[in-house]
Amino acid sequence: MEKILRLNEQDIVQALADHFNVDRAKVNLTVKIRTEGYGPTEHQFPEVSADIKEG
């Protein structure tokens, strides 16, 4: 059975901070919506990226 896990932005930031052992203030999460197609065949895809500052 497939398990769906829904995380909000703060959950993702905290998970990345914990994984990379940095303060959560050093994690910058960016979410962009990319659109492909036109009209009735238009689809939107989220693109998520994170920058983690060292030091």
Q: Give 29's strand partners.
A: 50
The percentage of the chain sitting over the pLDDT mark of 90, rounded to a whole number, equals: 65
The domains of the chain are located at 9-52
Instruction: Write out pLDDT tens, residues 24-47.
Output: 999 999 989 999 998 888 999 989
| CA separation for the pair 20, 12 (Å, rounded) | 12
For residue 49, what pLDDT is reported? 93
- Residue 13 has phi, psi (to 5 degrees) of -60, -45
Helix H or strand E segment including 13? helix 9-20
Whether the pLDDT of residue 55 is over 80: the answer is no
pTM of the entire structure?
0.68
For residue 33, what pLDDT is reported? 93
Residue 44 Cα distances to 5, 6, 54, angstroms? 20, 18, 33
The percentage of the chain sitting over the pLDDT mark of 70, rounded to a whole number, equals: 98
